[in-house]
Amino acid sequence: MKSEVNNMDLMTKIRKNTATLHSAAEHTGFIKRIVDGHACKDTYAEYLFNLHFMYKAIEETIEKNKDNKVVQEFATTELYKSELIKKDLEFLLGDKLETMELLPSTSTFINRIKEIDNSNSELIVAYAYTRFIADLFGGRTFVALLAVNYKVAAEGLNYYKCDGVKDIRAYVMNYANKINNMNLSVELEAKLINEVSNAYIYNLAISCELEAKLHSN
Ligand code: HEM
């Protein structure tokens, strides 16, 4: 059984290891609330505010570590979202943006990204993969949902733009190949697999914390 796992490529190992966490991310917390139609424009904006700082941390760490050959491969600016989300926030929140505060789960996430920046910067790929590839798959469903169910105007939906990716399937396959060709040591590969789980856990925490906060309002 163990040798079966050893023979798998890295992408397959990651997918197998996180299949249940993906299901949890899809079916709990604020994500579930949006899908079920129990959110509103303001609560969506609060979610987006936290996402903005997640993406900013990921993108800045990738850019900062581009001299690392492994990280360099994942400087996929066509997938970067922080600037697009900023536009949405300015449209959705206006002056209210100044008074918003990050969730503690998001601050914890940002601290973890700083630790990665100061240790094994290759591990940032775990976070890039989890957010950017999720956007390619789930993005199109969400944009329709937000426009129809929550009446979010096009000016507030820049996040879902992905003009730089024409063929999503081919792009994701190429991204998976890049992960498979990272050429990490056995020890670092194990850390990366673990870090993808961490990426899901942080995303789950943010989603669940926001949901709990909205319940208590
Ligand atoms: C309503 C919420 C969601 C839906 C409907 C959804 C749906 C999907 C679908 C259909 C795929 C493609 C699976 C395949 O082709 O094999 C996918 C992949 C993926 N999703 Fe989600 N997802 C959701 C939320 C999330 C969240 C919250 C995250 C993490 C933050 C996430 C991370 C990913 C990742 C990393 C992949 C790529 C997996 C791979 O490489 O095979 N998803 N998702």
The candidate with the shortest Cα–Cα distance to 30, out of 18, 15, 48, is 48
- Region 34-51: mean pLDDT is 95
Is residue 194 scored above 80 in pLDDT?
A: yes
For residues 182 and 70, the answer to whether their CB atoms sit within 8 Å is yes
Q: Is the CB of 25 under 6 A from ligand 1?
A: yes
Taking the C-alpha atoms of residue 167 and residue 165, their distance in angstroms, rounded to an integer, is 6
The architecture of the domain spanning 37-216 is Up-down Bundle (1.20)
Residue 69: predicted pLDDT: 97
Residue 76: predicted pLDDT: 98
Average of per-residue pLDDT values in the chain: 95
Instruction: List for the chain the helix, strand, coil content (%; round to 5).
Output: 80, 0, 20
Q: Is the CB of 141 under 6 A from ligand 1?
A: yes
Q: What's the whole-model pTM score?
A: 0.95
- Region 82-92: mean pLDDT is 98
Q: Is the CB of 32 under 6 A from ligand 1?
A: no
Taking the C-alpha atoms of residue 21 and residue 54, their distance in angstroms, rounded to an integer, is 19
Residue type, 32: K
Residue predicted with more confidence, 139 or 146: 146
Q: How far apart, in Å, are the Cα atoms of 11 and each of 33, 59, 203?
A: 30, 21, 20
Q: How far apart, in Å, are the Cα atoms of 23 and each of 5, 27, 35, 158, 204?
A: 22, 6, 14, 26, 11
Residue located nearest, by CA, to atom 38 of ligand 1: 15
Residue located nearest, by CA, to atom 19 of ligand 1: 134
Is residue 202 scored above 70 in pLDDT?
A: yes
Q: Is the CB of 133 under 6 A from ligand 1?
A: yes
Closest atom of ligand 1 to 203 CA is 30
- DSSP for 74-125, written as a single string: T--GGG--HHHHHHHHHHHHGGGGGG----HHHHHHHHHHHHHHTS-GGGHH
Q: Is the CB of 137 under 6 A from ligand 1?
A: yes
- pLDDT bin (cut points 50, 70, 90) of residue 7 is confident
Is residue 108 scored above 90 in pLDDT?
A: yes
